[in-house]
Chains A and B, each alone.
Chain A
Amino acid sequence: MKYAFIILLFFSVFALRAQENESIYTKKVLEKVSVQTLFSYYAQDGQNAAVTGGEGTEELTNAAPTMVVQIPIGENGILSVDAGISAYTSASSSNVNPFDRSASWGDDNDHDDKYEDHDDKSFGSTQALSYVNRNQGASPWVASSGASRSDVLAHFNPSYAHFSEDRNTIYNASLAFSKEYDYQSIGFGMGISKLYNEKNTELGLNLQVYMDEHDPQYPIELRTGFFDSNIRGEGTYTNAFAAFSQTKRNTYALSLNLAQILTNKMQVSFFIDAVMQEGLLSSPLQRVYFADKENFFIDAFQLADNVERLPFYRYKYPVGARMNFYLSDTFILRSYARYYADSWGVQGLTAEIELPIIFGLNWAVFPSFRHYSQTAADYFYPKEMAKSTDEYYTSDYDLSAFNSQQWGVGIRYKDILGQLSLWKVGLKSIELRYIHYNRSNGLSFDQTALGFNFDID
């Protein structure tokens, strides 16, 4: 109800502005309702799962249908709604509880089926272990079959852009909501763009704020009361774990953008961002194994010494540029470069190039290549390299030093003459894109995306 009120208030302010000057004829900034749908399928594999402390399967699939609807509001406004879901199945997150071999754990009608814990299942008794299929055994290289192996992230992002009569000033405002099982985010943003020099120069400033809330779900062996009679190791299993007292995460991002037309066939843009994050920046699911602690196992699964601990603050400073060049009626060159640095010691370089090849009025092909490299975060340690006396540590290989290459190809069909229109719905284009991504530390993924763009009269 609170969100509904905020949305109503937010858009009514802009709707009032849109009603101004109705008596003066101006060409609409958007003539028809425009709809873009996108369905993507992602499949990943790797050997360095963060949930299992840097060693373990990273097998993951994700299916994500999204839709963006743009609606003209008066002559000068565009209301956009971006909504979608992202449904994943992950071997590593299934190992939050690697001893779960029964999908029926999700059926006990309580609030925490996804990360079922000892409170509901009497983990302190040997009876609880009857849920583990001892023939399979727990292992970081094998997915558990419990409910935590899959989740759905849903997002809903409405935004409004208001253009001045001369189209030289654009105001925009946006809201953002997203929710998954253990994480929710509320955000808002606002910005202004000004065009100068006969619309050859555009200067933009944007501010975005996100206020997120974590519902920490810890590895099963770190939860209070955990006991298993099959623990193997020297001595008695203990750990240094203490639950996080902070569960909120705030993000503030300021972005400055400058775009310039250089010639009638070339244009360039530069951006610089300043991002501050504060709060719980660690992922409570991600195990860490210390060099100075004994190792304990159940089956082949090593029990955690702690979860990752990362600083309360993170400051990020990316700068980048895009340059597009209309080489001919057949070839266009699109390029992108970015340098990134943050307060955790990560520095990244991205370079991407795409060469759209246009065949007549209807068809185009888009080969592309992307190179990325980064240095490791100051707090990254491979498995059993961090010490229990360190203040901060993680074995998340997304924060390790690596480089990656991505190859891609896309194909687009544009329905110039509206031959595929049906009733009031006119197809504009269909685009299919495939990418293959390889990281130097062994992770790879393939992704296919299919998009449809159409207008509604």
Chain B
Amino acid sequence: MTIDDLAGRLGTAADEVEGIRAELEREQPAPGAAAGLPSREVLEQMTQAWIVQREMAARIVEQIRRLAGDVAQAAENYRAADSLDQGHSRGD
């Protein structure tokens, strides 16, 4: 696998987790107004767990995108160094 392949895979992974995050943002676990104390408690706990899941997904997206960016930058540096080496070789 090349470093560019890895950068591509990471981009795909980030997009996939972003899709999960977006679905968690778009939907709610049980829409509708709670009626009474016990129902409010049940709905609040489910909603809270849903939000935690969405925020975790957001952090993972950020983590993978940061890594993808660093990998892409490393690939760029590698190509720059490689072309420099080849230039030196030709000059020798």
> Do A and B associate with each other?
no
Chain A residues proximal to chain B, CB less than 8 Å: none
Chain B residues proximal to chain A, CB less than 8 Å: none
